[in-house]
Amino acid sequence: MSSRKAAPAKAAANRRLGVLISGRGSNLQAITDAIAEQRLDAEIAVVISNRRDAPGLERARRAGIETVALRHTDYGSREAFDAAMVGELRQRDVGLVCLAGFMRLLSGSFVAAFPNAILNIHPSLLPAFVGLDAQRQAWEHGVKVSGATVHIVTPELDDGPIVRQAVVPVLPTDSADSLAARILVEEHRIYPEAIRVILDGGWRIDGRRFVEQP
């Protein structure tokens, strides 16, 4: 168990987001919509993908957001790839990194470059069902509830202090796909909310617990 501790965070002066994607970018769209509807006071400075054919890149371009495609296969190591991403994010003065279906485990050096300033959305109630295809894992395991989690990223897979969670019941008629679709609705709801909480400040990390101040 981690013994991480941090002083209470102040409201973030830098509200520029860097969003990392590998696929269609539906959570990117949820963040974009929240900003456009003034539910989230932030700006997406750049969207970075490790796949040049990721549909989310076109989604970002249509919204007028700058995009960068960095293929991880073009780099000799995970650390070299992560260093390139850190360079792109710092070049654009990003204050908070948001993983939105980014299918790469970040190195310790990347996490250290943005301490307590990287968020991830995962389709289960962590710490249950980490890793790929969490919705199918939950369905096959026969749990009665699943859901979605937004957490601060650490070098460990799907670890880190939990910022927001949403519960989704598993229905007797569910398939893995129908459960995943209902979880996705909750992902789109809680991710912008979690970003807002982080940017507004007034929270601290106590051990591995994310604690909001009254």
Cβ burial, residue 105 (10 Å; 0-12/13-18/19+): middle
Contact of 18 with 98, CB cutoff 8 Å: yes
Please list the residues that pair with 148 across neighbouring strands: 166
pLDDT digits (tens, 9 = 90+) for 25-72: 999 999 999 999 999 999 999 999 999 999 999 999 999 999 999 999
Q: Is residue 178 part of a domain?
A: no
Report DSSP letters for 149-201, one per residue. Answer: EEEE--SSTT-S-EEEEEEEE--TT--HHHHHHHHHHHHHHHHHHHHHHHHH-
Q: Is residue 172 part of a domain?
A: no
Q: Is residue 15 predicted with pLDDT exceeding 60?
A: yes
pLDDT digits (tens, 9 = 90+) for 99-137: 999 999 999 999 999 999 999 999 999 999 999 999 999
User: Rounded to whole angstroms, how far apart are CA atoms 5 and 211?
Assistant: 11
Helix (H, G, I), strand (E, B) or coil at 63: coil
Distance of CA 171 to the CA centre of its chain: 26
Domain tally for the chain? 1
- Rounded percentage of the chain residues whose pLDDT exceeds 90: 92
Q: Is residue 102 part of a domain?
A: yes
pLDDT digits (tens, 9 = 90+) for 125-177: 999 999 999 999 999 999 999 999 999 999 999 999 999 999 999 999 999 99
> In this structure, what CATH number is given to the domain that contains residue 43?
3.40.50.170
Which pTM does this prediction carry?
0.92
Q: Which of 72, 122, 151, 188 is catalytic?
A: 122
Tell me if residue 151 is catalytic. Answer: no
Q: Is residue 141 part of a domain?
A: no
